[in-house]
Chain A
Amino acid sequence: MNAAWWTALGVSSRSVDDFDSATITQNQNMGAASNPLWDHYLVDDVTCVQRSFHYGGGHNKWDGGFFYMENNDTGATVDAGDTVVVSGDILSWNPSGDVIIEKFSDGKPVAIYMNSSHNGIEIELVLTSTPPGTSSYYSNFTIWHYSPWAWFGVPAEMIPSMLMQLGVDQDYIDSDAFDNAYDGQKSDYGGVATDPDLDAYRLIGEPIVETIKRMARHFYDPIYFNMKGQLAMGSRSRPDTVTALYGIKDVSWGITRDHICNIVRFTYGDVSRIKQVPRDYGPTTFSGYDVVADSNYDMECSHVPTAGVMLGSAYVVEDSVSVSIQEFGEIPIGGSDQVIVDGDAVRTAPTTHFPYFSERDDLAIYAARVDDESDEMREIVMSQDFRGIDYDLGYKVGNLQITGDGQTVSDCRCIEKTLNFSTFTVESVLLEAL
């Protein structure tokens, strides 16, 4: 994320051509058109974040956003006078068959169709050539998809995007920390070679902070309000680091088992990213108009069960650390009990659901994480003079020799700080990173 990203997200703008940003947009250039009564077009390669119908998606519950068009003739500056804006909702769903969300109307410029087809979704845009009030034809369109309340990306970009869409000033967001976490999350993260992006959406009624936490939990970077009170995110893989510590007044430490986790079972996804592949199935008729499509598209939805729905071994990913299990016994993270069919065996085990992962490979993040957290850790409480504010939460504190036996603790992460403004002392809690 760079300065332009922050500037653009401060105001969610139709003109932001940044598909990596957390605001989902996707465009399709229509190219030059002749002078038809209307054009029929199927949107190619749309990325919409939507809940699967089977898991609560449906009328007015999806956050898939809406489409609008832009006249490319106006260049980078959108001129509303030359722009058809489709301010419609693609969130409705009719399970009985094809659904036309917005009806094409004779003489009117735009309609959006959204058709259910088996388990898939097709989004079609139907354009007229002449909007009311103008005499010129639309010859060169860009179609935009805008989903202000659904996000695609890594948490380090989704969370600040969400806040800024809610009107939060960037002063209250630690942009440097999020930038650094973003770089870490977009690189090889937890052994995941590809970008482990999330597909996330708001839930009506859920506190915003819970949405933030659910996003963050899909990765293992800590999130916090820093010493300055800004929302910030640390980076496990690219931590800010201090190795020189000043003004130490007191150190105490102990071994904690509070963080041990040596087996995780998880399911993933209740969100679909629409990705379409070409399919040819001939002319389509809509409402008295014969439309010959240039092309048609079928859709691939990543579709996985969620808690409470049938789970088979194919859908439960399990990872464990046998040495740790031998030493401490099986310590799973929480979750609801699910039946796992494993060959001929059937067993019940606590299973955690990660709704925003849509790719099974993304769960490699958790395989790496359970490896990190399968052992006891040292937890260190350090008191310093006010030079203790030299490092914030999320920082890596290395080269600590506090055990009295000459050992060096090479990597601790700061998880708590208390600043006393009467005595100008700082107390930090550091958790050993293994």
Chain B
Amino acid sequence: MGLLTAGQLAAIPGGKFRQKWTIIHADGLISFVLHDDDGGPQTVIDPGSRTASAYNVSLQSPGDLAAQTYQFTASNASGQLYHTGTGSYFYDVSKTAWVPPTTAVVKHQVYVWASGAWSELPCSPWVGRIAHIEYDDVLGPDGTWGPGTATVTCEGYLGELVRKPWTNEHGEHVENATAITPSGFLVYSFSSGWDMDGSDYRLWVQYRTTVTSSSSVKFYANSGIWSTGIASTSSVTLHQMSIILTAPNFWTSATANGTIASGGYLPVAVNYPDIPKINRSDGQTARPWV
């Protein structure tokens, strides 16, 4: 079965189309219609085209898997790609007021007029990040900007993500324990396979929390409090804190228990494979116990 409705199939031949481009900035503060055929701003002068292709087409020539690149051209008569009318500029070549274009996304919607209403087509909405804007504004001899165009190049929304390489920072141990309510504890047990005698080590702990007071997070060694405090106090974020483990208060089998006393989510990770030694007085290095 096809993607178009019977009404859309009937409406497309010789029908009336509507295209709409909306620009949404990552900060959520700027969101405006750049162009709307249905009576909105009429800024886009070349709506462009998009090509989509498949990967894994055959064993011999598998094809490509890339987020679509999409380019359209808008008028830029005022030297600003668009003015919201309320003082917020998306981009102003004079830089008196602007936000970086590449931190915004473009939503492109296509409709056909069917049965007395706009009907959104199945290739829509398409959302892509702005990768580049090419301005051809002309600075006149009198020092003012003349009319010009802005060619906006977008990349499919997931393009940037899928090109990134995996790193450990993707969170080998991170789990999203957002359903967990306050009061939990994490456990860290040192392996006897590490020579920790007479050394100081730094233990990195990551946790996600809404805790806003450093006094509400405590880490315990055996029965005593090791350390109190969190690295930052922003809300619902992944924190990372370090605890300096000082000999001889712990040794080969010491265990750290981090407790969120209140107001927090469950800790998410202990990054223990890398326990950098610090301040070792005898100059020796820690070594795996092999």
Chain A residues close to B by CB (< 8 Å):
11-15, 59-60, 63, 66, 77-81, 83-89, 91-92, 94, 96, 99-111, 131-133, 146, 148-149, 163, 166, 168, 172, 202-209, 211-213, 216-217, 219-229, 231, 234, 240-242, 244, 246-247, 258-261, 264, 287, 331, 333, 366, 369-370, 373, 385-387, 389-394, 414-422, 424, 431
| Shortest CB distance A93–B (Å) | 10
Q: Which residues of B contact A96 (CB under 8 A)?
A: 290
Q: Are A63 and B19 CB-contacts (below 8 A) given A132-B220, A387-B13?
A: no
Cross-chain contact B173 with A89 (CB below 8 angstroms):
yes
B68 to chain A: which residues have CB within 8 Å? 225, 229
Give Cα distance in the complex from A102 to B266, angstroms: 21
**Which residue numbers of B lie inside 8 Å of A, CB to CB?**
1-4, 9, 12-13, 17, 19, 46-63, 65-68, 72, 110, 112, 121-128, 156-158, 161-168, 170-193, 220, 222-223, 252-255, 257, 259, 266-270, 272-274, 288-290
CB-contact partner of B123 in A92, A163, A212, A228, under 8 A: A228
Contact of B49 among A89, A110, A219, A420 (CB under 8 A): A420
- Asked, given contacts A204-B167, A418-B49, whether A100 binds B2 with beta carbons under 8 Å apart, the answer is no
Q: B4 touches which one: A84, A133, A216, A389 (CB < 8 A)?
A: A389
14 A-B pairs, CB-CB below 8 angstroms? A78-B179, A110-B187, A131-B187, A172-B158, A206-B165, A207-B166, A208-B165, A221-B56, A228-B124, A229-B158, A260-B60, A369-B59, A393-B53, A420-B49
Q: Which 6 A-B residue pairs are closest in the complex by CB-CB distance?
A: A80-B184, A390-B2, A421-B47, A209-B162, A259-B58, A227-B123
CB pair B57–A431 under 8 Å, yes or no, is yes
* B54 x A223 contact (CB < 8 A): yes
Tell me the bound Cα distance from A107 to B224 in angstroms.
Answer: 13
For the complex with contacts A228-B126, A287-B192, 15 further pairs of A-B residues with Cβ separation under 8 Å are A105-B189, A105-B253, A108-B257, A132-B223, A172-B157, A172-B158, A208-B164, A217-B56, A220-B59, A228-B124, A287-B253, A387-B9, A389-B4, A393-B52, A417-B53
Question: A217 vs B60: C-alpha distance in the bound complex, in angstroms?
Answer: 11
Task: Kindly report which residue of chain A lies nearest to residue B273, judged by CB atoms.
Answer: A60
Chain B at the A interface: SS class: loop
Enumerate chain A residues within 8 angstroms of B112, measured Cβ to Cβ: 386
Distance in angstroms between the alpha carbons of A12 and B289 in the assembled complex? 34
In Å, the complex CA distance between A146 and B257 comes to 20
Q: Given A209-B163, A229-B126, A421 and B257 touching (CB < 8 A)?
A: no
User: Given known contacts A103-B190, A208-B166, is B125 in contact with A228 (CB within 8 Å)?
Assistant: yes
CB pair A231–B158 under 8 Å, yes or no, is yes
Task: Find the residue from A60, A87, A226 having the highest chain B CB count within 10 A.
Answer: A87
Give the contacting residue for B161; candidates A168, A223, A370, A421; CB below 8 A: A168
CB B98 to nearest CB in A, in angstroms, measures: 27
Q: Which residue of A lies closest to B290 (CB)?
A: A96
Residue in A closest to B49 when the chains form the complex, CB atoms:
A420
Contact B57 A206 (CB under 8 A): no
**Structural contact, B168 and A421, CB atoms closer than 8 A:** no
CB distance from B226 to the nearest CB of A (A): 12
Say whether A222 contacts B60, CB under 8 Å: no
> Are A424 and B192 in contact, with the CB atoms below 8 A?
no
Greatest chain B CB density within 10 A among A99, A133, A213, A419 is at A419
CA gap between A15 and B176 in the complex, in Å: 11
* Closest chain B residue, CB of each to CB of A227: B123
Is A14 a contact partner of B162 (Cβ separation < 8 A)? Answer: no
A422 to B185, CA, bound (A): 59
B62 touches A217 (CB 8 A): yes
Nearest-Cβ distance from residue A110 to partner chain B, whole angstroms: 5
Q: Which residues of A contact B173 (CB under 8 A)?
A: 66, 87, 89, 148
Among residues of B, the one whose C-beta sits closest to the C-beta of A390 is B2
Q: Tell me which residues across on chain B come within 8 A of A223, comparing CB atoms.
A: 54-56, 65
Question: Closest residue to A429 on the B side, CB-wise?
Answer: B53
Residues of chain A within 8 A of B121, CB atoms compared: 386, 389
Residue of B nearest to A78 (CB): B180
Instruction: Give the chain A neighbours of B185 by CB distance below 8 A.
Output: 80, 85, 131-133
A166 CA / B128 CA spacing, docked (Å): 18
Residues B59 and A394 in contact, CB atoms below 8 Å apart: no
Residues of chain A within 8 A of B50, CB atoms compared: 227, 418-419, 421
B257 surroundings in chain A (CB, below 8 A): 108, 132-133
Bound-state CA distance A148–B254 (Å) is 27
Please indicate the chain B residues that have their CB under 8 angstroms from the CB of A333 in the complex: 59-60
Evaluate contact between A225 and B67: CB separation under 8 angstroms.
yes
- Per the bound structure, the CA–CA distance linking A370 and B193 in Å amounts to 50
